[in-house]
């Protein structure tokens, strides 16, 4: 097996804990689904939020989904003027037999603007 990175991003509807956790769960569920991930193959996940999201740690959503033995880290992004607001990003490190070209990165909601090549 090889360790691969999977990227993803989404936006929260509002700056509440409920909205942050719901957006994070939706993103993680989609990443797991499209990449056929098993929790036991996830080595770690790094979550970042834009400075306007301070009501909850996105890693809490992963813990609630059963990622209890996964190393998780939350961080705040630098406040770049004009950047996407209410954004949650994740970098997941997982062990997989997939080739790097087979990994599917997931960008949903407002984060699609980060990847104009996505429909």
pLDDT at 1: 85
Q: What is the pLDDT of residues 18-77, one digit of tens each?
A: 999 999 999 999 999 999 999 999 999 999 999 999 999 999 999 999 999 999 999 999
Q: Which residues contact 54 (CB under 8 A, 6 or more apart)?
A: 15
- Full-model pTM: 0.91
Task: Tell whether the torsion through CA atoms of 27, 69, 78 and 49 is positive or negative.
Answer: positive
Give the chain's domains with CATH numbers. 2-113 (3.30.1330.40)
């Amino acid at each position: 097996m090889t360790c691969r990175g999977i990227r993803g991003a989404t936006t929260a509807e509002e700056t509440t804990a409920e909205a942050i956790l719901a957006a994070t769960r939706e993103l993680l569920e989609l990443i797991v689904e499209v990449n056929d991930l098993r929790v036991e193959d996830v080595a770690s996940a790094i979550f970042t939020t834009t400075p306007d999201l301070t009501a909850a740690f996105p890693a809490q959503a992963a813990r609630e989904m059963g990622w209890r033995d996964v190393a998780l880290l939350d961080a705040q992004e630098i406040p770049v003027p004009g950047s996407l607001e209410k954004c949650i990003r994740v970098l997941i490190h997982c062990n997989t037999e997939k080739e790097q070209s087979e990994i599917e990165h997931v960008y949903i909601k407002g984060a699609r603007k980060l990847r104009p090549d996505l429909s």
